[in-house]
Chain A
Amino acid sequence: MTNKQQIRRALLLLLFLGAAFVGLGYRLVDLQVLRHDELSAKAEQNTQREFWQAPRRGDILDVKGNILATSIAVKTVCADPSLIGNFRPYVARALAPLLDTSEAALTQRLTPRISRTTSGELVTNGLQYVRLAKNISEATWQRISDTMANLPLGLDEKKLSRNDRGFLRNLRLHSIFSEPDQQRIYPNGALASQVIGFPATEETQVGGHYISKIVGRDGIELAMQKALSGVAGWKVTETDRHHRELVALRDEDVHARDGLNVVLTIDAAVQHFVETALADAVQKHTPKSITGIVMRPRTGEILAMVSLPNYDPNQPNTISPATRDRAITDWMEPGSTFKIVVVSGALNNGVVKLTDQFDCENGVFFYAGRHLHDAESHGILSVKGVITKSSNIGAAKIGIKLGAQNLYDYAWNFGFGQRTGIPLPGESRGSLPLVKDWSKVSIAQIPMGQGVAVTRLQMLYAMAAIANDGWLMRPMLVSRLQERDGSVVQQYKPERVRPVVTEATSRQMIEALKTVPTKDGTAPTAAMKDYVVAGKTGTAQVAENGHYAPGKYIASFIGFFPADDPQICISVVMNEPKDGHYGGQVCGPVFRDIAERCASYLNIPPDPALMTNAPAFAVENSTHKF
């Protein structure tokens, strides 16, 4: 009897236990198999944290390694209003002076607000995440942290409950926090600003938080965006309840790859000389704008490129269309500087020789129903004299002799009507009409620089080809890309585009151009004391509404030195100068000023023929007895 009862009880217990185990087993299968994906995702969400690591944007350096643009680490100060509660006025009062804002504005930002969107959805201004200020320095953030840690709240905290004390501790330690960010700064202010360009910040929202990225908007910042921006990294890890990372549980750790440093061919010192010289010229002649470019003709390296007015990229409000890089964006009729194209073309084709003579008609030449004028009347001039005196009529007659198609071909080969390929956004092609679109008078007008439109850079590019034995060199602005430690990733080499004229022709042209900065030429003020200069002046009228505007001129001087071994080619162009409008008169002195400072800085050996008091010493290499 007892045994039976015991067996029954045991069976019941067994049944009960069996049922319990079946239940547990089912629950186990349910959790581990059936709801595996859902629950594992939830578990990961609760424990795992993903941190995005922004790459540091690369610097922009000049050829000597001077920093032109760099990024500094800053903080974005954020708040969690849910941890602040009704203590908003206290927090706002403490932080307003540090964040350089008003108490009222800060209180408003810390107040959770609910609004309805157009689609009827209720949204808050961020119950747990509000951004209070951007670009806060590390030092200021430290002061904010200290201020918050010692925030006076006007309470006797010893009398508060444990929960309330916990709330206040969270308020002081966690309600205001920061996110790492970076800010682009330009230590030299406006120096080379149009070449460097400026950036903007693009923001994307990820998981309720903003991730900002600096993106170039103009200049090298835009052109070299890919190299400068780098690649983002990330870290998947777990944190403890104090939001401290548990390194042992770090799952993925991919470091951000910083952007490469872009080293320009620009030399900050030369750029500074040019900017200073142009600023002085602006004071003197108050032109609407002025540009200056310095280039090495042998390699095409641009050492300086300035356009005034310019802007300070540290102050975005100074950026406007008026401060664009006019050296590459604006068209102009080149005026007499274009004579180098027709004369070198004619010399190269053997149509004329430097000594050939042309009748310059005493200043007025009637051709194809139009009167062509010279600034001064000239009689018979040699080809060299046409360059020296900048005779429009002489150039027109040389152009007629060269022929329309040949003139067009030479202009095209010198790079007009096409982009030079400088790595900057917004470069214009200029305008070089096809021969079929020329009027009857075009063949006489184009040689004097009318009826074509060029950029300042194109004109310098062509002059540099004459200085470089007739070879056109691609303008170089980027010298190399390098890592932060200085190791070179990519080196850019000078690039020959094409030969335009022969070396002999270029020598002849240089002989003719040497006569321009002399007392017989149009730019005696461009002559240097210790160097022979070769160059050409230009004075173009400004076309408005299909007519030349009276009293409005674009004056220019483009030259290089030492003439027999050209090291530096410089262009100076003034738009609507006052107190004089001839290229030689207003731009010549600016050229000389820049050239003399460059010669000294770049240690260019002077022409021995012009040196009177500093003979070169010959020293025996083997002993160095001095």
Chain B
Amino acid sequence: MAKNRKNQAAAIRFGPALKASFLCLLIGGSAVGYVWQKNEIYRLGQQIRLREIKLAQLQADNKQLNDQISILHSPPKLDQRVKEFQLGLVPATPAQVVRLMEMPAPMDKSSPRQFAQRP
């Protein structure tokens, strides 16, 4: 200050002050950003963990339900249920089955015919 008074240059030098402020802001901002980023990483990590747990749980439930369906569909269980409810269901005898034999489709003479090339 004394130098300023001596040199009659009382004006504040804004350039260095701005630079210093900018540097402080940069350092401070970086620090805050770093902490924020770390927090986000932690938070997202926890979310990933919870979702992984939920996914595993859903997969386990899905498997359990699939198993249940499969077990309920299994022939021995169905047979047991038929007997339990006395439904009187029995397999059809061959005489009770009508078999439909498919005839070959009639050839359309107008359609182009393809032949294998001779070697």
CB pair A613 B45 closer than 8 Å: no
Looking across the interface, which residue of chain B has its beta carbon closest to that of A612? B95
Binary B-proximity of A599-626 (CB < 8 A = 1, otherwise 0) = 1110101100001111011111110000
Q: Choose from B73, B79, B106 the contact partner of A66 (Cβ within 8 Å).
A: B73
**Are A247 and B95 within 8 A (Cβ)?**
no
Q: Nearest residue in A to B60 (C-beta to C-beta)?
A: A73
The distance in angstroms between the C-alpha atoms of A67 and B93, with both chains bound, is 28
Query: At the interface, yes or no: B21 with Cβ under 8 Å from chain A?
Result: no
Docked Cα-Cα span, A269 to B79, in Å, equals 9
Contact B103 A618 (CB under 8 A): yes
For A620, give the chain B residue with the smallest CB separation: B103
Q: Which residues B42-94 have CB closer than 8 A to chain A?
A: 42, 44-46, 48-49, 60, 63-64, 67, 70-71, 73-77, 79, 91-94
Shortest Cβ distance from residue A27 to the other chain B in the assembled complex, whole angstroms: 28
B77 touches A188 (CB 8 A): yes
Q: Which interface class (under 10, 10 to 19, 20 to 34, 35 or more) fits B?
A: 35 or more
Known contacts A70-B67, A247-B46, A619-B101; is A614 also within 8 Å of B95 by CB? yes
| CB atoms of B102 and A248 under 8 A apart | no
Cβ of B15 within 8 Å of any chain A Cβ, yes or no, is no
A-B interface pairs (CB < 8 A), number: 98
> Given the complex, which residues of B lie within 8 Å of A616, measured CB to CB?
98-101
Known contacts A187-B74, A272-B75; decide if A614 and B98 are in contact (CB<8 Å): yes
A621/B75 contact (C-beta < 8 A), A72-B64, A530-B95, A600-B94 known? no
Bound state CA distance, A249 and B42, in angstroms?
9
CB under 8 Å from chain B, chain A span 307-360? none
Interface centre among B44, B75, B96 (most CB of A within 10 A): B75
Question: Is the CB–CB distance between B97 and A187 below 8 Å?
Answer: no
- Select the residue from B96, B100, B104 with max chain A CB neighbours within 10 A: B100
In the assembled complex, which residues on chain A have CB atoms less than 8 Å from the CB atom of B100? Answer: 616-617, 619
User: Is A558 an interface residue when CB atoms closer than 8 A count as contact?
Assistant: no
Tell me if B12 is interfacial: C-beta within 8 Å of chain A: no
A246 within 8 A of B: yes
Q: Which residue of A lies closest to B53 (CB)?
A: A245
- Given A247-B48, A611-B95 in contact, is the A622-B106 Cβ separation under 8 Å? yes
B94 touches A599 (CB 8 A): yes
Chosen A-B contacts, 12 in total, with CB atoms closer than 8 Å, are A66-B74, A72-B63, A72-B64, A73-B63, A188-B74, A247-B48, A269-B75, A272-B75, A530-B93, A605-B94, A611-B95, A614-B95
Known: A244-B49, A247-B45, A619-B101. 18 other contacts (CB 8 A): A66-B73, A66-B75, A67-B67, A72-B63, A188-B71, A188-B76, A246-B42, A247-B46, A249-B45, A268-B74, A276-B79, A529-B93, A600-B91, A606-B95, A611-B94, A617-B99, A617-B100, A621-B105
